[in-house]
Amino acid sequence: MSKRKKRDIAKDLAEYEKSLSQSGLNSPDKNLNSTEKRVSEVEESLYKKAVGGTVTETTKKISNGRVHTETKIRQVQPDQRAIEYFLNNRAADKWSGSPKTDDGKTDGKLAELMEGLKE
């Protein structure tokens, strides 16, 4: 390998490591120990999964001594289980997986059907 090519690879790797440190991927986050921050990030991820949307994925590859960045944009559909989980935990007063009537009993339709079958 020639000296010129070695310098190019070293330069590309240095630039790649610099971009990682600037994006925060390579350095530890000082606030990472904060439980509140972690919970907030998980809540945000759950919400994004529930509502769906556009996701941008970026991958970096090194080939022939060069760093190549590949970006893909894709549409993600809302996830029903994430929606239910979010609503059950964040809007429990308005939402329930098993709705109840004002008297605290479950919806009467199933009970009516069961009574009809007994008769």
**Over the stretch 83-114, which tens digit does the pLDDT of each residue have?**
888 888 888 888 777 766 666 565 566 667 76
Q: Residue 35: what pLDDT?
A: 85
How many Å apart are CA 37 and CA 41, to the nearest integer? 6
Looking from the CA of 6 toward its CB, the CA atoms found within 13 Å total: 3
The angle, 0 to 180 degrees and rounded to 10, between the axes of the packed helices 35-51 and 80-90 is: 130
31-79 per-position pLDDT tens digit: 556 788 888 888 888 888 999 988 899 999 988 888 899 999 999 899 9
Question: Where are the domains positioned within the chain?
Answer: 33-96
- Selected residue with higher pLDDT from 23 and 84: 84
